[in-house]
Amino acid sequence: MDNAGKVFASLNSWRMQSTFRVSGTLRQPVNLEKLEAALQKTLPRFPLFRARLKPGFFWYYFEPSDKPPAILPDSRFPLGESFSAMGRGYPWHIRVYHRTVALDCAHALTDGFGALTFLNTLLAEYLDYRGPRAREQGLLDVSEAPLPEELENDFPRHYTPGLPKVPHPEPAARLPLTQESAGVRHVTRGLVPAAALKQQAKAAGVSVGEYLNAAYLEALQGCVLGEGGEALVRPGGPLRIDVPVNLRAVFPSKSLRNFFLTVFIEIDPRLGAWTFEEILESVHHQMRLKRSPRLYRQIISRNVGSERNPFLRHMPLLLKNALMPWIFRKWNLRWSTSGLSNLGLLTLPPEMAAHIDRFDVLPTHPASRGLSCAAIAFGDRVSVCFNRTVREPTVERLFFRALQARGIPVTVESNEV
Amino acid sequence: MAYCPECGIEVSTPRADCPLCGAALQDQPVDAATPFPVTVQRTRHEPYRWVDIRRILFTGLSLLPTLGIVSVLAVNLLQNGSVHWARYAVLSLVTGWAVLALALYQFRRPLKLVWASAGVLAVFCFLLALFNGGQCWWLTLALPILLTVAVLFHWVWRCTYVRRVHWALGSAVILAAVMALCLALEFIIALNLDQDLAPTWSGIVCLVLAPPSLFLLYVRYRLSKKVDLGKLFHR
């Protein structure tokens, strides 16, 4: 297992959930028999997805399995189960509802890129697409044999011992929101025209990702300080979001396993209410400052170094499972208020894209954090999904209202009835 | 498509109010498909739920004493035709079962657990005394000891855990409770045996525990205000 997978495998309850969802919505209702046949064709190309996660004495490990994976009907509250309760022992399953095919996947197995590659290839088989397939588009040829590099754990290749430690940030501010009961997950999805968003971002001189990060930080600030800037609660620290970075774009890699890390972007509401322009400028510079392979190597070295710690290596899994949620909560979740995963623009061959309406991502979300957000662009639309385990939709409301007020039309869907 | 006049956004979910602000939507669609399933599937949230584990433990906990009780009763009846000695074993097994079951169900409420366990043990002592011809030791010896232990635990819990006091003050309170318990035990025992009431062994315990207790109070009220103990001990 890779470095991130080892951590995520021990976070296995509804409170410390480590599963996420990527889904594709077709233009026609899904034919289950056809999907099952496509899955049978796709699976041999992805040995990683034919493995079940088993507990060893010191770590979890993958065990190859020939059992057919599960295709299940979707539920109103997605990602309700921990990965060990997923279909037929695999740390993933497919859920289908009407026109949507969703892949629910444990982060212990792969990251967003790996999951999207599997889903795209599955949809290509389902749609009988026979054109050229590019790895960069997240499409693999099922007639080819799997490459050994696809199963490689790429983190240790960039491990440099003896690098200075990454300084720990101060604990981030918490959102003053009410926790929902167990198993309830509110999903709010906003569909935004990509052209309008791009135009706004271009006018502000930032990228679309930076614009979304800034808008999210502005909504979080509104949630903490109140929409008018009057402090609802005294913020206990900076508002900080963790932004995952796909390392394949920086270091050459063909791995389908986890190969990402997160960087922190923050504003400090204790210094007063920030205007959107100020947030944009700050986010723009922070993102550029942190986009450095040297800094990435430093973070990788810290993560891999702690994994190689002899004390941690020889600790029985039972203890790791008991301690890891606590460590994760204490060291990782405290550092950020929320998270925004931006999977970027997904481009598929036109023959295939014509049959697909849109793609959505539902991020991994530990219940103690309140809410997380993810975005993906496909065709002429950007889908922004909020995964929320708190009662109040304050952040979504502020986020989408702000976009609408800046001339970006928003269409909202929600699983609340 | 429906439109929220408050948020200014379109809502594609067929519903009466806006999912973001709760305002009534305008221009409701007549027959739109829901973008999310309406039904909720029951899913297991955790691989092993505590409720299930507790039920299994309680079943095992109840089964073993039941087997033990049946066995000792059968042996005693077959050997002597009475339950002369088996009643002691049965009483001990039932008491042990009750205390363990209380611990299983009330371990998150330690005060309740301690008072309930003290009650169970008081009944145990009373029945034991009754089996032995109605001796009064349970009233003069067992009951005061149980009450002292429960009261001291209650006090320590209230002073330390509930009030979330400084670790040094909490430790001093615990040491004080140990000293009070030793003094009370010796006093109760001496009173029952008609001995001299002056403390002997409990006095030695107090002499040993008093200095660290005072030192902890000094750490709490004097030292911790002047020195950063975290830095001092590389915490």
In order along its 417 residues, chain A shows pLDDT tens digits of 766 667 777 676 666 678 899 999 999 999 999 999 999 999 999 999 988 887 777 888 888 888 888 888 888 888 877 666 676 778 899 999 889 999 999 888 899 999 999 999 999 999 988 878 887 778 888 888 888 888 888 888 888 888 898 888 888 988 888 888 777 788 999 999 999 999 999 999 999 999 999 999 999 999 888 776 666 666 788 999 999 999 988 898 888 998 999 899 999 988 888 999 999 999 999 999 998 899 999 999 988 887 777 777 777 777 777 777 777 777 777 888 999 999 999 999 999 999 999 999 998 876 667 889 999 999 899 999 999 888 889 999 999 999 999 999 999 988 876
What integer pLDDT is reported at residue B181 of this predicted model?
95
The ranges assigned to domains in chain A are 3-136, 186-414
Which chain A residue has the Cα nearest residue B19? A414
The pLDDT tens digits for B178-198 are: 999 999 999 999 998 888 888
Phi first, then psi, for residue B207 (nearest 5°) are -65, -35
At residue A71, the 3 state secondary structure works out as: strand
CATH of A186-414, one of 3.30.420.40, 1.25.60.10, 3.40.50.1220, 3.30.559.30: 3.30.559.30
Q: Measured between CB atoms, which of A80, A400, A415 is closest to B9? A: A400
ipTM above 0.90, yes or no: no
Lowest-pLDDT choice from A197-206, B16-25, B210-219: B16-25
* C-alpha separations of B234 from A217, B169, B230 in Å: 36, 21, 6
Task: Assess A98–B contact: CB distance below 8 Å, yes or no.
Answer: yes
Q: Measured between CB atoms, which of B36, B39, B43 is closest to A183? A: B43
Q: Nearest CA of chain A to the CA of B72: how many Å?
A: 39
Which chain A residue has the Cα nearest residue B39? A76
Whether residue B234 is predicted with pLDDT greater than 60 in this model: the reply is no
Q: At B42, is the pLDDT very low, low, confident or very high (cuts 50, 70, 90)? A: low
The ranges assigned to domains in chain B are 1-43, 136-225
Task: Assess A389–B contact: CB distance below 8 Å, yes or no.
Answer: no
Q: Which residues of B touch A410 (CB under 8 A)?
A: 9-10
Q: Which residues of B touch A (CB under 8 A)?
A: 1, 7-13, 15, 18-21, 33, 35-41, 43-47
For testing the chain A interface, which of B1, B20, B38 should be mutated: the one with the most A CBs within 10 Å? B20
At residue A6, the 3 state secondary structure works out as: helix
**Contact assessment for residue A57 and residue A317, using Cβ atoms and an 8 Å cutoff:** yes
DSSP state of B93: H
Question: Which residue did the predictor score with more confidence, B13 or B201?
Answer: B201
Phi-psi category of residue A343: left, alpha or beta, with phi > 0 → left and psi -120 to 50 → alpha: alpha
Overall fold of domain A3-136 = Chloramphenicol Acetyltransferase (3.30.559)
What integer pLDDT is reported at residue A27 of this predicted model?
92
Asked whether the beta carbons of residue B47 and residue A84 sit closer than 8 angstroms, the reply is: yes
Q: Measured between CB atoms, which of A81, A182, A393 is closest to B20? A: A393
Q: Measured between CB atoms, which of B9, B36, B43 is closest to A80? A: B43
Task: Assess A187–B contact: CB distance below 8 Å, yes or no.
Answer: yes
C-alpha A370, offset from chain centre: 15
At residue A16, the 3 state secondary structure works out as: coil
In sequence order, which ranges of A135-231 are alpha helices (DSSP H)?
Answer: 194-204, 208-225
DSSP state of B43: -
What integer pLDDT is reported at residue B232 of this predicted model?
56
CA atoms within 13 A on the CB side of A337: 28
* C-alpha separations of A82 from A49, A85, A106, A304 in Å: 17, 6, 8, 25
Q: Measured between CB atoms, which of A80, A401, A409 is closest to B45? A: A80
Asked whether the beta carbons of residue A75 and residue B47 sit closer than 8 angstroms, the reply is: no
Asked whether the beta carbons of residue A81 and residue B9 sit closer than 8 angstroms, the reply is: no
What integer pLDDT is reported at residue B32 of this predicted model?
55
Matching fold, domains A3-136 and A186-414: yes
Q: Which single residue is written with the structure tokens 């923050």?
A: A266
Q: At B235, is the pLDDT very low, low, confident or very high (cuts 50, 70, 90)? A: very low
Question: Which residue did the predictor score with more confidence, A249 or B43?
Answer: A249
What integer pLDDT is reported at residue A21 of this predicted model?
93
Q: Which residues of B touch A413 (CB under 8 A)?
A: 11-13, 35-36
